[in-house]
Structure 1
Amino acid sequence: MTTELFLQTVVNATYAASYMALIAVGLVLIFGVMGVINFAHGELYMAGSYAVVALYADLGIPFFVTVALGLIFVGLLGLLMEYGLFRPLRDNPLGGLIASIGFLLILQTIAVLGFGVQMEHVPPSTQGKIVFSDGVVLTYQRLYVIVATVVLLSALWLFLRKSKFGWALRACAQDREAAALQGISINDTARLAMFIGAALAGVAGALTAPLVAPTPQMGHPVIITAFIIIIVGGVGSLEGAVLAAILYGFVSTFVTTIYDGTLANIVGLLLMLIVLIVKPTGLFGAKERA
């Protein structure tokens, strides 16, 4: 591998790790606070992409306005899921899991009916790029994803540690019953967690829509990758999800560049198995107290 190819792969891996981190952190937040495995999380990512298709590519609304609207739309979609699916099944985690699978099929069907099964083309919001050398380039479109990830995850970190609502989310994630005894509303924290988690997935889909070809099934590989990341990082650990997203993004991108994407998927699974063998709780996971 030449130096230029190596550096370009680092740039590509940074972009890949960024949007993976947004998706995985959202999924971890939902699971940590609500205790539910949301299999429709990949379809929330898909919904963010199709928001850009409908508003930006079809109607010509400015790209960043569309991204903001996509974030709000998918966040509200998450609230709908919390109220209609997960709240009635709060004491039945398996039921919530099955309900999320049903909801992802509904979202896929809506996407097919609204946009068809073909890949959608979303023009980039800009043709600008940063040229480091002849073979090392970072497009502004990818830079937007990287910058947005840093800003959003930093804001989330501050929110969780410096605000009253953030403390409530953390308390519910640690012990829901104890939090309720202290006067924290379980319903309010569940709504907040679901809105933030869904919105992070939606904004990831919206920002990457010009870089990928949106399809109704685009959530499948995303949710698999997200689960690998949170298992490697440690179930329930936001910091672990970010670190694991970086690790997975770099490993997957380098293997794809040197060999191919199929082998990269296999290596990703092997990475997960190795981490589980060495540290069964994941990189930042903690053992459950008896």
Structure 2
Amino acid sequence: MTAELFLQTVVNATYAASYMALIAVGFVLIFGVMGVINFAHGELYMAGAYTVVALYADMGFPFFLAVVVGLIFVGCLGLVMEVGLFRPLRDNPLGGLIASIGFLLILQTVAMMGFGVRMENVPPSTQDKIVFLDGAVLTYQRLYVILAAVGLLSALWIFLRKSKFGWSLRACAQDREAAVLQGISINQTARIAMFIGAGLAGVAGALTAPLVSPTPFMGHSVIVTAFIIIIVGGIGSLEGAVLVAILYGFVHTFVTTMYDGTLANIVGLLLMLAVLIVKPTGLFGAKERA
């Protein structure tokens, strides 16, 4: 591998790790606070991408306005899921899981009815590029994803550790019954967790829309990747999700570059199995949750 190819692969891996971290952290936050596995999380990512398709590509809205609308819209979809699906089934985790699969199919059907099954071509918001000394290229479109991941995840970390609502989320994730005894509203914390978790998936989809050619089925691979990341990182560990997203992004990108994508997917699954054999709770499963 030449120095130029190595640096380009590092750039590509950093981008991949950034949007994976946004999706995985949102997934972990929802599970940690609400105790539900949201199978529709990949379709929330898809909904963010199609928001940009509708507003930016089709209607000509400014790109970043479309991204902000995508974040808010998908966050509100999360609130609808929390109130309409997960809250009535709070004491029935299996029922919540099945309900999320049903919502997944609804979102896919709505996307197919509204946009068809073809891949959408979303033009980049800018053609500018950063060229490094060794010839590697970082487009501004990918840079936006990296900066958004760093900014949003840093803001979430501060929110969880410095704000009253953040403390409530962490308390519910650690012991829901004890949190209730302390006067914390489960409904309120569930709404906050669902809005933030869904919003992170939505903004990831919105920012990557010009890079991935959105389709109604784009959430399938995303949810599989998110499962691998949270299982390896430790179910409920936000820190584990971020670190494993970086690890997985680099491993997957380097294997894809040197060999092919199919082998990269197999390596990802083998990595998950190896970690589960050595440490069944995941790399950070024993640490503090959320």
Aligned position for 2:279? 279
Aligned position for 2:82? 82
Aligned position for 2:100? 100
Aligned position for 1:128? 128
> Contact 1:130–1:139 at 8 Å: present in 2 too?
yes
Secondary structure of residue in 2 paired with 1:209: helix
> Contact 1:228–1:269 at 8 Å: present in 2 too?
yes
Q: Match for 2:253: what amino acid?
A: T
Aligned position for 1:64? 64
> Contact 1:76–1:195 at 8 Å: present in 2 too?
yes
> Contact 2:22–2:200 at 8 Å: present in 1 too?
yes
Distance 2:60 2:277 in 1: 50
With the length of structure 2 as denominator, give the TM-score of the two structures. 0.98
Aligned position for 2:184? 184
CA deviation profile, 1:54-110 (whole Å, cap 9, x unmatched): 000000100001100000000000000000000000000000000000100000000
With the length of structure 1 as denominator, give the TM-score of the two structures. 0.98
Distance 1:7 1:144 in 2: 19
Secondary structure of residue in 2 paired with 1:201: helix
Aligned position for 2:211? 211
1:267 lines up with 2:267 in the alignment = yes
Could you tell me which runs of 5 or more consecutive residues in structure 1 were left unpaired when the two chains were aligned: none
Aligned position for 1:33? 33
TM-aligned CA deviation for residue 134 of structure 1: 5.7
Aligned position for 2:236? 236
Q: Match for 1:219: what amino acid?
A: G
> Contact 1:48–1:204 at 8 Å: present in 2 too?
yes
Could you tell me which runs of 5 or more consecutive residues in structure 2 were left unpaired when the two chains were aligned: none
TM-aligned CA deviation for residue 161 of structure 1: 0.2
Q: Give the aligned length.
A: 288
Distance 1:133 1:213 in 2: 30
> Contact 1:27–1:38 at 8 Å: present in 2 too?
yes
> Contact 2:7–2:134 at 8 Å: present in 1 too?
no
CA deviation profile, 1:120-150 (whole Å, cap 9, x unmatched): 0000000011000363010000000000000
Secondary structure of residue in 2 paired with 1:130: strand
Question: Following TM superposition, where does structure 1 have runs of at least 4 consecutive aligned residues deviating by more than 6 angstroms?
Answer: none
Distance 1:129 1:13 in 2: 17
Percent identity reads 86
Distance 2:129 2:144 in 1: 11
Q: Match for 2:176: what amino acid?
A: R
> Contact 2:41–2:201 at 8 Å: present in 1 too?
yes
Q: Match for 1:154: what amino acid?
A: S
Q: Match for 2:187: what amino acid?
A: N
